Amino acid sequence: MCEAAAYIIRNGQEELLLEDVDLIEPEGDHLRLVSIFGEQKIVKAAIQSLNLVNHKVILVETK
Amino acid sequence: MCEAAAYIIRNGQEELLLEDVDLIEPEGDHLRLVSIFGEQKIVKAAIQSLNLVNHKVILVETK
């Protein structure tokens, strides 16, 4: 499987936001994350970086 | 393996930018993409969306 864990940087700290993420797409000025289990999160953030071999996506909060 | 193909939207068209991408990270106001074979590309773009099950990353050019 190829899912990744999504972390969000808040106040300089990396926090785990959602595991087993399959899909991240824009929804207005937010991002919608969907896991392989169908769990969804919507956050006001941008995708900062990806490390697919380490299965890690880093988001940053946007204003 | 968990690499993805990176596409960039230019003039409304999706173009293949780099295959087998492992890493995408900010480099100043650009993004640096690195494939599992060590090939690198630097583009002025932002990450728009991810579809990991389909191994696809979509970037958009930024001004």
Mean local confidence (pLDDT), B28-38: 96
CA–CA distances in Å: residue A45 to residues A2, A42, B6, B38, B52: 22, 9, 20, 29, 19
Q: Are strands A56-61 and A4-10 parallel, antiparallel or unpaired?
A: parallel
- Answer whether 0.95 is exceeded by the pTM: no
Q: What domain range is B14 assigned to?
A: 4-61
Spatial separation of the C-alpha atoms in residues B52 and A3, rounded to whole Å: 6
Token digits for A54? 């380490």
Mean local confidence (pLDDT), B19-34: 96
Number of domains comprising chain B: 1
Looking at chain B from residue 23 to 62, which residues have their Cβ under 8 Å from any Cβ of chain A?
23-26, 36, 46-53, 55, 57
Contacts of A26 in chain B (CB under 8 A): 48-49
Say yes or no for a CB contact (<8 Å) between B2 and A46: no
Q: What is the pLDDT along chain A (63 residues), one digit of tens a residue?
A: 678 999 999 989 999 999 999 999 999 999 999 999 999 999 999 999 999 989 999 999 998
Say yes or no for a CB contact (<8 Å) between B26 and A4: no
Give CA angle at A48 (A44, A50), nearest 5°. 125
Say yes or no for a CB contact (<8 Å) between A52 and B26: no
Contacts of B36 in chain A (CB under 8 A): 53
Q: Which residues pair with B21 in a beta bridge?
A: B4, B35
